Structure 1
Amino acid sequence: MARKMKAMVACGSGIATSTVAANAIHEIFQELEIDVEIIKGTVPEISEKADEMDIVFVTNCYREEIPCPVVNVTAFLTGIKKDKKIAEIKNIIVSLNEKING
């Protein structure tokens, strides 16, 4: 059975913009029929939780090195190049899922 992926969505406060982004990301996982557990948090929490995550989505710049991919999802808030960002996220999720679940 396929392992559920773990994703974190982080923004400045861990509340407002991460909720908008988390909903959009959840829809992408559903469309791809990939199980995911999404947690929301703040940017400072990323380094604490990165080891447990398969992927991290951020609503602003994040430059630290962590052991999983980091994807900027500002496009979900601005609407600018949103379709291109969704396509990029789908590619990343699919290849990650293949890596995790063979």
Structure 2
Amino acid sequence: MGREIRAMVACGSGIATSTVAANAVHEIFQELGIDVKIIKGTVPEISEKADEMDIVFVTNCYREEISCPVVNVTAFLTGIKKGKKIAEIKDVITGLNEKING
């Protein structure tokens, strides 16, 4: 077992939609058996906190370049292509975990 992955889930207000998305993301990490510490925040906070994170999940578009992967999780709010998004997230998380924990 390696170190936990540090993840941020960001939305416009840092409250409502990020909570829904954070719960869905947390379930995926649990399913994969990978430890994660999730913080919630707002889109403007991403650039401030990115250097402390391994991955950032957003509920809307985010185009800035930051030091870690950014994954859009709008599918958890709309339900559109949710299964495809879950598969994509599993691939990203698995690759990230291998990179961090060997």
* TM-score band, normalised by shorter chain: over 0.9
Q: Which residue of 2 aligns with 1:19?
A: 19
Q: Which residue of 2 aligns with 1:37?
A: 37
Q: What CA distance in whole angstroms lies between the structure 2 residues aligned with 1:23 and 1:3?
A: 20
Instruction: Return the offset for 1:54.
Output: 0.3
Q: Which runs of 5+ in 2 are unaligned?
A: none
- 1:43-65 CA-partner distances (Å, limit 9, x unpaired): 00000000000000000000000
Q: Which residue of 1 aligns with 2:72?
A: 72
- 1:60-88 CA-partner distances (Å, limit 9, x unpaired): 00000000000000000000000000000
Instruction: Return the offset for 1:41.
Output: 0.0
The 3-state SS of whatever aligns with 1:14 is coil
The 3-state SS of whatever aligns with 2:85 is helix
Q: Which residue of 2 aligns with 1:2?
A: 2
Calculate the TM-score normalised by the size of structure 2. Answer: 0.99
Q: Percent identity?
A: 87
Structure 1 residue ranges, 4+ long, deviating more than 6 angstroms after superposition = none
Calculate the TM-score normalised by the size of structure 1. Answer: 0.99
Q: What CA distance in whole angstroms lies between the structure 2 residues aligned with 1:96 and 1:25?
A: 14
Q: Which runs of 5+ in 1 are unaligned?
A: none
Q: What CA distance in whole angstroms lies between the structure 1 residues aligned with 2:98 and 2:51?
A: 19
The 3-state SS of whatever aligns with 2:38 is strand
Q: What CA distance in whole angstroms lies between the structure 2 residues aligned with 1:42 and 1:16?
A: 11
